[in-house]
Amino acid sequence: MTEVQAQIASLPIQETRRRPFYFSLWVQVLTAVVLAVIVGCLFPTAATAMKPLGDAYIRMITMLITLIIFCTVVSGIAGMSDMKKVGRIGGKALLYFEAVSTLALIIGLVIGNVVHPGAGFNVDPNTLDAKSVAAYAGQARAQSVTEFLIHLIPTTVVDAFAKGDILEVLLVALLFGFALSRMGQRGKELTALCGRATELLFAVVNIILRFAPLGVFGAMAFTIGKFGVGSLGSLAKLIATFYITSLLFVVLVLGCIAWIAGFNIFKFLIYIKEEMLLVLATSSSETALPTLMEKLENLGCSPSLVGLVVPTGYTFNTDGSSIYMTIAALFVAQATNIHLTIGQQLTILAVAMLTSKGASGVTGAAFITLVGTLMVIPTIPVAGMALILGIDRFMSMFRALINMIGNGVATIVVARWEQELDRDVLRSTLA
């Protein structure tokens, strides 16, 4: 026996064994989802009481998001020698976001006109419970472009982190990153500290992920126990229309974009399966933001680009919310027998192009944003949103899922566009 063979033979047997499949996070999360559905159907009262498990897990993840964004963006920008490149990346990302999210709005509008999901309801708007939507109408307020831009600036630096506003934190991080890059050698130590802090934060995220199955069980059990699968019956056509349109958008639109960018959309979906399950169960794309960023870096995208594009996309690149907004708006109009002219539908599209940018990863944000959109267009009764209020949680699942997938694809596309993508790593990782 040669020396090399002897060394191989001396290796511990357990090192060559594969890890049991039930240790995989996606298996544990999927199991939690199945158990939650069973408990929700059989014991709805007990299932509803599981809500704190889901809320606690979401809060544990979201408490770290602003710090992760800040440290990632600051260390990434400070490490770049070309500041024009940062502006170029941001400009290209926003251009991509606007193009794809507008396409999603148009697709929703076309499908709503072809399928007519609200036909046959014949609801009298005067009989609807407007009070159930009043709370959401209070939160929904149309913003002008000037107000939107002013909103990006926090009252104080600490306030941005306290409120957890992603765009405000991103602005603060950009300013700190630019300042550190101008400090030259004096800023090296602070830049390195931000890098170490990022590693620490991701280590904490990995600890929290161990509790993901419990959080997923609590969130999904509450949804099924509270609203019940039976609540989907009368609005099954609307839900099916939205789900199928969303899936076709991912396969056809995002699939074509991915193909042009040099990767397979189905392999990418398999790669982020844990994040997809988390988002589906919690109805919030923010729960997957930290691990999505980490996985995109492992795919070969540069950390600085990931830190800049992903957080921005969570506000400006809401593909799922865009599809939902136009389909749901047409559903309310059709259900209340209100005929919309082409001009009125184009008005909905134009308003939604602005208001959809506020539908970030927070659960129910798209519903509030749609209420705000309908308030701008008096032709459609805002009270009509009461028709879909009961099933919004089920719609929110897919909205958040498509938003998250769209941001993952967008980051890879912009990374390749900017030559900030290692294609060999991308191919080998997805393979």
Task: Output the pLDDT for position 90.
Answer: 80
What domain count does the chain have? 1
Q: Residue 230 has what pLDDT? A: 64
Residue 6 placed within a domain: no
Is residue 254 domain-resident? Answer: yes
163 part of a folded domain: yes
Q: What is the pLDDT of residues 177-193, one digit of tens each?
A: 888 888 877 777 888 88
CATH number of the structural domain spanning residue 205 = 1.10.3860.10
What's the pLDDT tens digit per position in 273-288?
A: 989 988 888 877 888 8
Rounded to two decimals, the pTM is 0.79
Query: Residue 7's pLDDT is what?
Result: 46
Q: Of the spans 24-33, 105-114, 146-155, which averages the highest pLDDT? A: 105-114
State the pLDDT at residue 107.
94
On whether residue 8 sits in a domain, the answer given is no
Q: What is the pLDDT of residues 338-379, one digit of tens each?
A: 888 888 888 888 878 776 665 554 555 677 777 777 777 777
> Is 7 part of a structural domain of the chain?
no
Angle at 277 (CA atoms; ends 272, 282), nearest 5 degrees: 130
Residue 349 lies in domain:
23-430
Mean of the per-residue pLDDT values for the chain?
80
Q: How confident is residue 411, by pLDDT bands cut at 50, 70 and 90?
A: very high
Q: Among residues of the chain, what percentage have pLDDT more than 70?
A: 82
